[in-house]
Amino acid sequence: MQRIGFIVLPGFQMLSVSSLSVFELANWEIGEPAYHVHLLSETGGSIRSSVGISVATEPFDNRNFDTLMVGGSAVAGALTLGVIKFLRRGLRRSRRVASTCTGAFVLAEAGLLDGRRATTHWHRARELQARFPKVKVEEDRIFITDGPVWTSAGMTAGIDLALAMIEQDLGADVARSVARQLVVYHRRAGGQSQFSALLELEPKSDRIQSALAYAKRNLTSKLTVKQLASAAHLSPRQFSRAFRAETGQSPAKAVENLRVETARLMMEQSRHSIDVIAQQTGFADRYRMRRAFLRAFGQPPQVIRRNARAELAA
């Protein structure tokens, strides 16, 4: 049986511990206790959450945990020297150390993320990078595995992280069954990005939505304003004005974002060459795609693919 320890800090958010349900359901799915979950705090006892609900915790001791996890806290002074020491010891003794959401700040404060790739909630990612320059922050990832250290984005991304742990421990079939029980994706559509180009645009009218859906289906085409306007049943001038008013972007920029998102997914999940992916996503050649990747992610396609393969190998 694997022992899972989750460190609860005063003022934690209830959703941050939702990932523990993944381990509970994995036990149920295989019909035996593969995991034993422990809520931990420095002194033990009752710890109050941000909404006023308290949970019972066990105090830190000399037990070893296969997986040690931590969430964040909005309460000043919640992170103590005792917690930092416990995490540092955990990195030496545990197979995995992980954080959910702003728990990445806790791991960074303990020095566990120095020189490692990590993520956190997109809203706090740049702050994490500024405060801890030794950390290689990737702000658009759902979760990242770098050696024994796992970090996830927003609180629900902790479920994605835990499902990946289940897959590593018990296999893809068990992880997929647990995801079905939770009514979530085994692997989120659109790769591991926190963002979706279509969702981020948030068009308000059916006509602009239809144009974007048309663009998504026809990325190999040139997708001129005239084509998109025709799909929206508007004149090119009306379409351009309405599109920018509803999305805050030009049609050309939106199409590039759709192409980049699709190309990234193909880079991560397929074995197609970079030239083939560039052709299939409408970039025409690898050099245009490379420039688009640098604008969107600050990294070229080769680095995106190498990182994805490194995560899969881990």
The stretches of the chain forming alpha helices (DSSP H) are 20-30, 81-93, 103-109, 125-131, 157-170, 172-182, 197-201, 206-217, 225-231, 236-247, 251-269, 274-280, 286-297, 301-313
* CA–CA gap between residue 293 and residue 303 (Å, rounded): 10
**Residues with Cβ < 8 Å from 252, sequence gap 6 or more?**
225
Measure the CA–CA gap between 301 and 282, rounded to whole angstroms: 15
Which residues have C-beta within 8 Å of that of residue 102, sequence separation ≥ 6?
A: 71, 72, 73, 120, 121, 124
CB 15 within 8 A of CB 182: no
Q: Output the six-digit token pair for 11.
A: 């003022």
CB 107 within 8 A of CB 151: yes
Instruction: For residues 292 and 225, give the distance between their C-alpha atoms in angstroms, rounded to a whole number.
Output: 19
Burial of 161 (0-12, 13-18, 19+ CB in 10 A): buried
Supply 243's token pair. Answer: 């599109």
Burial 29-68 (b: 16+ CB within 10 A, else e): bbeeebbebebbbbeeeebebeeeeebebeebeeeebbbb
Residues belonging to the active site: 101
Q: How far apart are CA 27 and CA 17, in angstroms?
A: 17
With CA atoms as reference, report the closest residue to 160 among 135, 177, 185.
185
